[in-house]
Amino acid sequence: MKLINTFATELPWACEAVAPQPLHEPRLLHLNQELLRELGLDGVSATDWLACCGHGQPLPGMQPVAQVYAGHQFGGYSPRLGDGRALLLGEQLAPDGGRWDLHLKGAGKTPFSRFGDGRAVLRSSIREYLASEALHALGIPTTRALVLVGSQEPVYREQVETGATVLRTAPSHLRFGHVEYFAWSGQGEKIPLLIDYLLRHHFPELSDGAELFAEVVRRTARLIAKWQAAGFCHGVMNTDNMSLLGLTLDYGPYGFIDAYVPDFVCNHSDPGGRYALDQQPAVGYWNLQKLAQALAGHVEGDALASALAGHVEGDALASALAQYEHQLMLHYSELMRAKLGLAVWEEEDPALFRELFRLLAAHGVDYHLFLRRLGMLTTQGAWPASLLALLPDPAAWQEWLETYRARLAREGSEDGERKARMDALNPKYVLRNALAQQVIDAAERGDMEPLERLFAALQHPFDEQPEYEDLATPHPGWYCGGELSCSS
């Protein structure tokens, strides 16, 4: 290992030293061997990982700290949140020169736990372990998972469950909420220091805070465009769950859609649908507004000395925010055009997309399987039988399919080449909630084989992988739940 602790040593006012608490009868459930090799951590033994993540014994060189931050949660400001059940153990210098936080979730109480127990449960830990690697394989920026540990420790949520930890990694776990905390707690003088830290360690190509905010806007817009194209609903887009590096952060009641439901809500704690699938782009902008207000007066070139609630004025921040919608729509359009196998843009494309989404929603068609099987369509001949099998009323799709086929013909699309491009963008294997639940049920019985199989399949989501064909089917009839709780 090549450990450093720049956050703990350079930003001591943004964290507190905390020792991880051991779990009762911990057991090592999974190691992400490929990622361990990438980060230069493959020399650490399984015994050492269990000691570190289960027995509360940090490895030599680690300086565990809990970070402090605030955040807007479901629209309301919470002035002091922080790592209530997670610890930054240290930062690994990878062989390629990159730095990676080692962040242990479920490590026990911290000064920021409030009334919580500081623990994570096996259910939520498995979901985060699988989801972070699934999104990475889909090309979506995300934290990643290194180590999964279970235990016999009872943890109380809606019911009694068992405690677990997941060691996750990312270049940084800095959030919008870090800036908000110092802005609104009377410590605004710390914000330039936080900006300087970000520029030196994570954005060396940028020169100042104005450029930094513009880059955060761009990364956030592109991240949410990727979520929308992938049919991924985060579920809890509070500002404390928004990464300053544009990563998918903090997996709770997330969900990939099955049948296309534009206003899909995956969190049963969100009855109003604030964080529904189709609201994510708007929420991203709202969250960036809150970040801009926290940065006001601390960004060079910004004229905003006093930000009114709900308003962002001033040159640097306002001009960067103004680019959000354009960046998001541009990237989303590029992604969807590519997922439909279209090589060039035409003025009629938005209408083609709108009608497709209308039909998908009206007929409850499986989003992922439809796009995957659409690649089998040829510019001549019969419609693919496997595609028609997804459509409850194929006749209602006739006009759209003919319009799409004519669109392909106009650009001289070649069937085989187009199918290869579409297969490389439309996954066959998706982390559906039903699959995750099957893995969780088995793991709670002590059977880790289903996790191993699903983890392996999700590493290569675009490949055929005949040995995992059973994991590529629509959600099973027995699964009737789409919403999960924040405790997940």
Matching residue, tokens 């399987």: 369
- If one counts every other C-beta atom within 10 angstroms of the C-beta of residue 369, the result is 21
- If one counts every other C-beta atom within 10 angstroms of the C-beta of residue 176, the result is 28
Distance from C-alpha of 230 to C-alpha of 334, rounded to nearest angstrom: 13
Q: Is 59 exposed, middle or buried (0-12, 13-18, 19+ CB in 10 A)?
A: middle
Phi-psi region of 108 (alpha: psi -120 to 50; beta: other; left: phi over 0): left
Query: 174: closest CA among 106, 229, 103?
Result: 103
Distance from C-alpha of 158 to C-alpha of 269, rounded to nearest angstrom: 13
Q: Is 447 assigned a catalytic role? A: no
Distance from C-alpha of 364 to C-alpha of 258, rounded to nearest angstrom: 9
Q: Is 319 exposed, middle or buried (0-12, 13-18, 19+ CB in 10 A)?
A: middle
Torsions phi, psi of 15, nearest 5? -160, 170
Catalytic member of 83, 101, 240, 302: 240
Cα radius of gyration (the chain): 23
- If one counts every other C-beta atom within 10 angstroms of the C-beta of residue 57, the result is 14
Q: Is 165 exposed, middle or buried (0-12, 13-18, 19+ CB in 10 A)?
A: buried
Torsions phi, psi of 281, nearest 5? -60, -45
The catalytic site residues sit at 240
